[in-house]
């Protein structure tokens, strides 16, 4: 262990990116452990590695005192001054005690410790690097598939794409280069564990940030994303400057920007929605590409009834209700979609129900006991009969 050690340290620094000082400290700590294991641990010692030559020296540390009690850890003032006249009581004297064959013994004993410290340093570097990339996207290469888990090569380490985070219908082949979203970085006993995703809505957001400069610069803001991975995504955007069209900025000239995102998502359809502070307008826009005639909202229940033309009903609902489902998820409101004819039929039925509840022949009496019209009619009839009888009596007289 001499100059070759220094060359090896420099090579590790260049290849692994581990700081030279960190490696030397790890080696010194391992050599100290090896010395105490082989030559006793009663005395205080330190190990020093020369950074230029790689020479290793072991020093015994002794406190300078007037009356030494333990010769292994203490030295008299007179003996200390004999070594160096500048020493005085309270100082610490370093006396070299390097064994002759210490280099070979130390190399055998400390090898595993050095390797372990190097691994820990590498893990720390990887952990720090990828912790800064949480909630961001990175590019990786598919290396293998283990029990449906896709292992992605990220350069210095590997990440895992679990089945739950894989987009339905996507296939991952060896050496495929894909963009993935970093969900979480955890430090485990086996090293940093990086969880990746192809289904997270953040993947769509970050892809648009890469493709649309206005989003990256903050001119256009992404207000919300509703996604069914592999099938369809709705993204609501808003412009902070009146002269910038947020939808047009995301679509790009001839659709090149949004097409780049669609290609990366392997054909997933994307609806770009204009966000609005008016909930009626926002709900209407969220049902795009369907055209909406009217939106009635119930703020207490956070629900909305939407009316669309008859020929647009299936488009508004979408295949298996997907369009309506994504619109509800994007806006956060319950949405009930009806066609014009359905609404008209419902109103007519409601009017019929109101009419069926009215019976003109039924007697009614209020709480204070006032008589009904039928009672009054009966009184009128009775009065007319009495008058007729009186007139007949007068004729007979």
**pLDDT tens profile 103-136:** 776 667 656 766 777 788 778 888 888 888 889 9
What pLDDT does 67 receive?
A: 84
Identify the CATH homologous superfamily for domain 3-129.
Answer: NusA, N-terminal domain (3.30.1480.10)
Domains 133-197 and 278-359 share a fold: no
What is the rounded average pLDDT for all residues in the chain? 83
Residues 206 and 215: beta-carbon distance below 8 Å: no
Query: Which of 320, 326, 283 lies closest to 305, judged by CA?
Result: 283
Report the relative pairing of strands 137-146 and 149-153 from DSSP bridges.
antiparallel
What are the domain boundaries of the chain? Answer: 3-129, 133-197, 278-359
CATH ID of 133-197, from 1.10.10.10, 2.40.50.140, 3.90.1010.10, 3.90.550.10 = 2.40.50.140
Q: How far is residue 265's CA from residue 268's CA, in Å, rounded to a whole number?
A: 6
Identify the CATH homologous superfamily for domain 278-359.
Answer: K homology (KH) domain (3.30.300.20)
pLDDT tens sequence across 267-303: 999 999 999 999 999 999 999 999 999 999 999 999 9
pLDDT tens sequence across 191-209: 888 999 999 999 999 999 9
Q: Per the structure block, which two tokens stand in for 286?
A: 């969220």
Residues 6+ apart with CB under 8 A from 73: 43, 44, 61, 62, 63
Q: How far is residue 166's CA from residue 265's CA, in Å, rounded to a whole number?
A: 11
Residue 8's pLDDT band (cuts 50, 70, 90): confident
């Amino acid at each position: 262990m001499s100059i070759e050690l220094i060359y090896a340290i420099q090579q590790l620094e260049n290849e692994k990116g581990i700081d030279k000082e960190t490696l030397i400290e790890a080696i010194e700590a391992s050599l100290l452990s090896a010395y105490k294991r082989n030559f006793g641990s009663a005395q205080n010692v330190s190990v020093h590695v020369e950074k230029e030559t790689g020479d290793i020296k072991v020093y015994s540390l002794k406190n300078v005192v007037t009356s030494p009690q333990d010769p292994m850890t203490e030295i008299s003032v007179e003996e200390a001054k004999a070594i160096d006249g500048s020493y005085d009581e309270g100082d610490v004297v370093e006396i070299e005690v390097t064994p002759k064959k210490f280099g070979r013994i130390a190399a055998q004993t400390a090898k595993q410790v050095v390797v372990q410290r190097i691994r820990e340093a590498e893990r720390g570097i990887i952990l720090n690097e990828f912790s800064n990339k949480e909630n961001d996207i990175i590019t990786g290469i598919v290396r293998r598939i283990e029990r449906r888990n896709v292992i992605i090569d990220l350069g210095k380490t590997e990440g895992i794409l679990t089945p739950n985070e894989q987009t339905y219908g996507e296939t991952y082949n060896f050496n495929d280069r894909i963009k993935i979203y970093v969900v979480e970085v955890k430090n485990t006993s086996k090293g940093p564990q990086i969880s990746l995703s192809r289904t997270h809505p953040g993947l769509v957001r970050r892809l648009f940030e890469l493709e649309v400069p206005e989003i990256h610069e903050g001119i256009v803001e992404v207000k919300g994303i509703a996604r069914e991975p592999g099938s369809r995504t709705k993204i609501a955007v808003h412009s902070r400057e009146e002269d910038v069209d947020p939808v047009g900025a995301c679509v790009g000239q001839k659709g090149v920007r949004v097409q780049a995102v669609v290609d990366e998502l392997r054909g997933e359809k994307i609806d770009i929605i204009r966000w609005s502070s008016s909930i009626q307008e926002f709900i209407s826009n969220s049902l795009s590409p369907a055209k909406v005639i009217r939106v009635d909202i119930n703020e207490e229940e956070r629900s909305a009834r939407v009316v669309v033309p008859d020929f647009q009903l299936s488009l508004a609902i979408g295949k298996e209700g997907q369009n309506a489902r994504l619109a509800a998820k994007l806006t956060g409101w319950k949405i009930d979609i009806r066609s014009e004819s359905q609404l008209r039929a419902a109103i007519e039925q409601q009017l019929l129900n109101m009419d069926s509840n009215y019976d003109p022949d039924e007697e009614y009496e209020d709480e204070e006991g006032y008589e009904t019209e039928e009672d009054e009619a009966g009184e009128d009839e009775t009065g007319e009969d009495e008058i007729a009888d009186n007139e007949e009596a007068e004729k007979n007289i």
